[in-house]
Structure 1
Amino acid sequence: MRLKNKKYSIMVLSILVSLIFAYKFLFADSSKNIKTNLPKSKSGFFLGTHVEISLYDNSSDEIFDECFNILKDVEDKMSINIDTSEVSNINKNAGKSPVKVSSQTFSVIKRGLYYSSLSKGHFDISIGSLVKLWEIGSENAKVPSKEEIEKSKSTINYKNILLDEKAQTVKLANKDMFIDLGGIAKGYAADVLANVLKSKKIESAIINLGGNVYALGSKPNGKTWNIGIQNPFEPRGKHLGILNINNKSIVTSGVYERFLEKNGKRYHHILSPFTGYPVENSLVSITIIADNSIDADGLSTTVFSLGLDAGRELVESLDGIDAIFVTNKKEVYTTSSLKNNFSLLNNDFKIIHK
């Protein structure tokens, strides 16, 4: 009996071991998919906004550390709120002498000048003095006097930003000029992060820099990302529609979050270099979809400032760029190639095919 029991025990043990190996073999792929469907996310605060990076591939904390170090480096170089930044140094030397900067800052300023020129000054990176004057979005926000606005307007002219490619220097030709890369630096940072993640073989990720979104690759299941487009008449997180995209950056500019109210009038943060006041047109938000986030970032302010007709004409003329326009009448316009990739969720809005 002992021998029989021993043989029986060995047989049972063998079956259990076989089942364990079979389970691992059969369900290895599915368990991996379950794991990658749940992102590993980390957040922080950089470039004046909340940042969240979500990785759907196997990843380590070192990748997040590297990404946050990159964001800190961009902030240290390009923020006007850091007294020792390269951009602050350029502003301190306005009308005096050229300032040598890093290749990163130089390339962002150069791209900013491209969009300043493309928009014919509607987007102008030398608008810093006006931004500082209004300070919309901060606790010091105020409506400046007409005299203050006129003085500030006289300092704005992107053509007076002088670049020396060989020496890699930037000079502001006139005293009191003040550049601000807030309308383009986040886009640059998102592109750098996306390239780092690609180099680490990350195939599915969402980079969110305060609403500046880069959807890397596709969903872990191979399907397109579903990106919600903010309803500009509702609190953040309420969407008017869904955009289906892969490997694209999505940037929205609108009048609904950063604003100042005084004497019953609302002043939003998108300022016109020509009037010195917030841009006034029928738009309440504009979403740009592009391969590169720096382009989506620069174009979002540009297109909003141009308005519906001129802005749409500009976007349609650019390769690889699409846009969603939302008006104060809750009308939604899209560029032609987006018609099959965007769908409304809210019946209060109406897509206008034009």
Structure 2
Amino acid sequence: MADTKIKCGVLDMKKSLCALLILSILVFSAAGCGFGQPKPVQTEEFALGTIINQQVYGSNAKKAAEEVSARIKEFDALWTINQPGGDINKLNRHAGQGYVKLKPETINILMKARQIADLSGGAAFDITVAPLVKAWGIGTDHPRVISDEEVSRLLTLVNYRDVQINEATGSASLAKTGQMVDLGGIAKGYLGDLAIQIYKKNGITSAFANLGGNVVVLGGKPDGTPWKVGVQNPRSQTGDIVGVVDVIDKAVVTSGDYQRYFVKDGKRYCHIFNPKTGYPADSGLMSVTIIASSSTDADGLSKAYVLGLQKGLDLVKRYGKAEAIFITNDKKIYVTPGLKGKFHLEDVSNEYTCIQIR
């Protein structure tokens, strides 16, 4: 039998980090460093499996940035699926065995995940896809296409409603043995909201944080103008952007097939799973960017990628508090009405067409 070549996307970490660095440089440079401008506290560190950047203005900027860093590291350990002693690891190990006591923040994020999943009935976002994620191995050194039989078996473990939460006791359970929760599709969003809370508590009025491509901004730039956040060209190997969106007090979160994937027999398999089919999503989209006040909601809603253009737009409309940028496989960029005048096409490849939805 001839060898089958497997090409992995996210395994080339240098490309992923390069793209994040370019995004960070874009936002940093947009802040302005001219004479008379206040100097920010800038940080860069590795956490959540990615690069975390902060740019914080104000007299308490250093204290606020350090507190954000500490909290991110705390929850990274608490929610990483394979972290011994962490809440999610504990919940998964006790699947089918009743309730386990969890930290209040873990209960909160599990409840938030349930609310976001309810918007699509679990068709777009479901934190119990973890058994499928593990079996496919996308993002590891050994990704594989699993059999239809294995997909069917694992699908019986996927149902976000099986995450049972008891707020009164601060505990949760998984209904079936073998079920697993993975917060990878919402954790960075939740921590983005936490960063904003910490900035506000410390009297900060202008800041941004980039958690591996999940961007949150507090206020505008120090001069009052909007922050400018780049939207990546999904097919650029060097992190080029296709456009820029102007934001104040918003989160900007993107999900796409270029972030983690592998290619086998000419077919691209991305890390975003369709919870109803058990296969990596193949929706006619390359990426979905959500702009919303809630970073947590934006993170979950960006999985509208699974639904395709029309159903994805319907989901965003049903949520009612977000704008979106959908990029299709045929290189068309669909922009929702609330972004009119705020999204600017900057496609150096000259391959994309921007369509403003009315």
Into which bin does the TM-score normalised by the smaller protein fall?
Answer: 0.7 to 0.9
Residue aligned with 1:151, SS: helix
Q: 1:156 maps to what in 2?
A: 158
Q: 1:331 maps to what in 2?
A: 332
Residue aligned with 1:201, SS: coil
1:154, CA displacement in angstroms? 1.3
Partners of 2:185 and 2:174 lie apart in 1 by: 18
Partners of 1:62 and 1:56 lie apart in 2 by: 11
* Cα distance per residue 1:162-190 (max 9 Å; x no partner): 11121121111111010111111111111
Tell me how large the CA RMSD over aligned residues is: 1.7
Residue aligned with 1:94, SS: coil
* Cα distance per residue 1:275-296 (max 9 Å; x no partner): 2111111110000001010010
1:38, CA displacement in angstroms? 4.4
- TM-score, normalised by the number of residues in structure 1: 0.87
1:144, CA displacement in angstroms? 2.0
Partners of 1:166 and 1:195 lie apart in 2 by: 25
Structure 1: tracts of 5 or more residues without a match: 1-31
* Preserved CA contact (<8 Å) 1:230 1:236: no
1:1-354 matched pairs, under 5 angstroms: 34=35, 36-59=37-60, 61-122=62-123, 123-301=125-303, 303-346=304-347, 347-354=350-357
Paired residues, number: 322
Q: Single out whichever of 139-148 and 32-41 deviates more from structure 2.
A: 32-41
Partners of 2:51 and 2:100 lie apart in 1 by: 30
* Preserved CA contact (<8 Å) 1:184 1:298: yes
1:37, CA displacement in angstroms? 4.9
* Preserved CA contact (<8 Å) 1:36 1:58: no
Partners of 1:206 and 1:317 lie apart in 2 by: 28
Q: 2:6 maps to what in 1?
A: none
Residue aligned with 2:138, SS: coil
Residue aligned with 1:247, SS: coil
1:204, CA displacement in angstroms? 1.6
Which amino acid in 1 is paired with 2:354? I
* Preserved CA contact (<8 Å) 1:51 1:210: yes
Structure 2: tracts of 5 or more residues without a match: 1-32
* Preserved CA contact (<8 Å) 2:119 2:315: no
Measured at CA, do residues 35 and 235 of structure 1 come closer, stay the same or move farther in structure 2, by a change above 3 Å?
A: farther
Partners of 2:250 and 2:82 lie apart in 1 by: 29
* Preserved CA contact (<8 Å) 2:136 2:143: yes
* Cα distance per residue 1:87-122 (max 9 Å; x no partner): 110110000120111110001001101111211112
Partners of 2:264 and 2:85 lie apart in 1 by: 34
Residue aligned with 1:332, SS: strand
Q: Single out whichever of 174-183 and 264-273 deviates more from structure 2.
A: 264-273
Partners of 1:353 and 1:197 lie apart in 2 by: 34
1:227, CA displacement in angstroms? 1.1
Partners of 2:346 and 2:150 lie apart in 1 by: 44
1:257, CA displacement in angstroms? 2.4
Segments of 4+ in structure 1 off by > 6 A?
Answer: none
1:43, CA displacement in angstroms? 1.5
* Preserved CA contact (<8 Å) 2:316 2:324: yes
1:62, CA displacement in angstroms? 3.5
- Structure of greater Rg: 1
Measured at CA, do residues 236 and 292 of structure 1 come closer, stay the same or move farther in structure 2, by a change above 3 Å?
A: farther
Q: Single out whichever of 49-58 and 179-188 deviates more from structure 2.
A: 49-58
Higher relative contact order (CA 8 A, sep 6+): 2
Partners of 2:166 and 2:259 lie apart in 1 by: 38
Residue aligned with 1:352, SS: strand
Residue aligned with 1:82, SS: coil
Residue aligned with 1:317, SS: helix
* Cα distance per residue 1:180-229 (max 9 Å; x no partner): 11111111111111110111122221100000000111111111111111
1:309, CA displacement in angstroms? 0.4
1:136, CA displacement in angstroms? 1.1
Residue aligned with 2:128, SS: coil
* Preserved CA contact (<8 Å) 1:40 1:54: yes
- TM-score, normalised by the number of residues in structure 2: 0.86
Partners of 1:145 and 1:49 lie apart in 2 by: 31
Measured at CA, do residues 33 and 265 of structure 1 come closer, stay the same or move farther in structure 2, by a change above 3 Å?
A: closer
Q: Single out whichever of 325-334 and 139-148 deviates more from structure 2.
A: 139-148
